[in-house]
Structure 1
């Protein structure tokens, strides 16, 4: 990375306390991220339900107007979409560092996301897939750079407000995630799918306009391109991009016009899924084999790979909350609350809602244990996360076996499963992000967060591959396999704790 990233450059003045004691720029970034998450989680809550609507796998009595796909195809599309959002975070960070700078990248990304949601608001399968692509690209560009902008607000290493600022920013994420299913989800599921997608576009448009008009409080560093491309590098990037587009176009034209193959959706999904599996591996191998890394950095990267694989297994289960669990909730749960039929999308409120309630509790528990020198190590926390995630799918077997012959089970089984997912997430996600910043080699300090997000890509790509292969993710056998895989992964990393701890050096 360019040296400009490490120079002391002016950020928010220490006296800027306009937003609850924090720089005024934090308020704009908070609102932008909140509206982006509002639009993302709202659309995510509707995605699988919309895809199966009108088809054989739709819930009884659900509105039509969807794409009438099977549950397997819908799950595959959902998994590929989530995988691509997190995969795009890496090129998003690259654009911020080398092409546009953080502020311009976020600004462009926000309007790309608006265009994506507007495309979803229009009927038609082509516009639907165009919209998904735009949202994935825009979310990747935004996600990689907006957190960097938060960090730029606190350039003084002694500024004690930094951790609090990121905590406030994180609450914006969860606030948007809580509100989204209530507003976008309920309108989309109960009134009109495309009206729900349109509401997501309005939310993101508010965020984009807020960001555009509120740049006064940002750091000057946000406008700088840290390591700009040279003219020769620009030409190389353009040539590679155009060549890739030409090869992909030629491939699909060949498939479309030949009598040997028939162009189907799988011709699109499978290459993307394979990319989602291979790119994370290629990135890790590239960093691990980099001769510029010191011996200590190499050993830490070896330890990081253990955590990466564990995180991928965790996200494989966790992200099925809006696919496998959502489909089960729509068809096989009794959702009557005091005479009110609760819309299925409201299950998606549970995880961010539990996060907001339990995150302070988890932080207090870790702090209390740390004071007694009894706080679990990162390895143990990861093991707990995987064990709880696996156990949640063992619990899932109970309502699955009860919901036979058209019998519907109480929705409280799903509430319990989402609670378990949240407990597991609190043991892994924030811990993993913190661990990544501590173990990142100096050369890859700005990129390692994107590398950690690739664990989401890898986990969701596995789910997508299973769905494309025709595996019924709502079958007891598959649920047992996934649950056992998570518990086994947790056990193996716990058994390897001494070896991994030695590789981590001073990091705990």
Structure 2
């Protein structure tokens, strides 16, 4: 074992040592790049098909569309989709904890990828029970993988000061978007035009390829990725196991009673999960904010961070509807031909990732150019810009919604424009949010704060679930207008309070 670890280290290769590299980076980056690409392939493939499959055969499906789905209403399908998205990001925190305390990052990623493969294979089996089981497995696997694979990217470099580190994460980020572009085209085409379950099987194949190359390429990873940083003591492990079994037993008894009484509906599952997803980030932030071990400056910075967290939750409340509200509009109300060539509506799910690849270099150049002139917007102003842009995207979306009320089809250019404006907002919020999270994190919670950032996505998606189950019509112009106004008002509020927020941030710009 020792010799193999030593060998793995020697084979990493760095520009300094003159060994084999991946675009000047440790060879392990190629392994993690491909693993993340295939995981995103499975994730975005699932996202492209999920709502369309759930409503297929039902009253809200496209006339003349493929059957074989679960014939649900769009409201129920949207609630399920939002809970699925929320759960993936909610599980990123316990996924990171398992990597730190139980299995180590490398083993956790291998297990996570295996669980995702199994989940998609179960989804490939027709039937509602297999669908929900498969969806749970994919969500659990994605949550386990998310935090740990990013940890391993960081472990490839010689500490935070390694000059290649930021560039390495940028290359890694490209893998996410390559998977995001490819998945709806491959998985969406097969699932939407041939067979839904065969589409899920294609997603399983992609993740299986990612798992195989990860296992082959682990020799190029840092040996520390196999270690458990702070392993659980036996007493701790037993205590966690007892707590887990108690909660499982409580849930089993509760739902058995509900089912026996004939009261069970899908909302009995969706609403509790949504409430957990909404209150978990509130509880986590409250616990951190109330920690008396934090310095006065750290407490103040956390007060400033809450502004960004709430804004991000509102942003992702709209942004993540790309897989539900916008996906169904693309299927039912948008022309699916360009220059006489037809394509499945699920291809629109590739557009955001494609825009990211086009716009990210421009935004990076723009921020640097403005910085050299001393005119780069502060983090607070960038967040305000993001909120106004995501609100503006829904104002634009209202136009094709009104145009298609008579049954006509909107031009694909409308959705391409909506996604472009949303991606511009994403460029002002996502990378900036990740950066400011690391800058504002109290020393005690340095390794946990990225998980806290992901909880903003959870909170936003859970708000959508609760709104839908309460009767909100996400396809109605009135609700879309309210969401747009809410985002824009949040942006204006942040901008008007920018001096107050900046004062809370201390030396963080």
User: TM-score band (shorter)?
Assistant: over 0.9
Alignment match, 2:387: 386
Alignment match, 1:268: 269
- Contact 2:13-2:21 within 8 A present in 1 as well: no
- Say whether residues 1:204 and 2:215 are aligned partners: no
Q: Match for 1:220 among 206, 219, 223?
A: 223
In the alignment of these two chains, the number of paired residues is: 498
1:60 counterpart SS class: coil
- Contact 2:13-2:20 within 8 A present in 1 as well: no
Distance in 2, matches of 1:232 and 1:137, equals 26
Distance in 2, matches of 1:158 and 1:442, equals 17
Distance in 2, matches of 1:305 and 1:119, equals 39
- Please list every run of at least 4 consecutive aligned residues from structure 1 whose deviation after the TM superposition is greater than 4 angstroms: 9-14
- Contact 1:437-1:445 within 8 A present in 2 as well: yes
Alignment match, 1:344: 345
- Contact 1:112-1:138 within 8 A present in 2 as well: yes
Alignment match, 1:427: 428
Distance in 2, matches of 1:335 and 1:110, equals 34
Alignment match, 1:441: 442
Alignment match, 2:375: 374
Structure 2: gaps (5+ residues): 1-8
Distance in 2, matches of 1:421 and 1:251, equals 41
- Contact 1:12-1:154 within 8 A present in 2 as well: no
Query: 1:389-411: per-residue Cα shift (whole Å, max 9, x none)?
Result: 00111111111111113122212
Shift of 1:333: 1.5
Distance in 1, matches of 2:341 and 2:59, equals 26
Give the 3 Å change call, closer, same or farther, for CA 401–250 of structure 1 in structure 2: same
Q: Match for 2:156 among 153, 175, 200?
A: 153
Query: 1:289-334: per-residue Cα shift (whole Å, max 9, x none)?
Result: 1111111111111111100000000000001111001111111112
List aligned pairs for 1:223-372, cutoff 5 A: 223-258=226-261, 262-372=263-373
TM-score w.r.t. structure 1 length? 0.96
- Contact 2:311-2:383 within 8 A present in 1 as well: yes
Shift of 1:181: 0.6
- Contact 1:12-1:23 within 8 A present in 2 as well: yes
C-alpha RMSD over aligned residues = 1.3
Distance in 2, matches of 1:381 and 1:87, equals 25
Alignment match, 2:64: 61
Alignment match, 2:187: 184
List aligned pairs for 1:100-119, cutoff 5 A: 100-119=103-122
Distance in 1, matches of 2:53 and 2:326, equals 15
Alignment match, 2:496: 495
- Contact 1:189-1:345 within 8 A present in 2 as well: yes
Distance in 1, matches of 2:470 and 2:189, equals 32
Q: Match for 2:138 among 113, 135, 160?
A: 135
Distance in 1, matches of 2:340 and 2:47, equals 27
Shift of 1:159: 2.4
Structure 1: gaps (5+ residues): 1-8
- Contact 1:12-1:155 within 8 A present in 2 as well: no
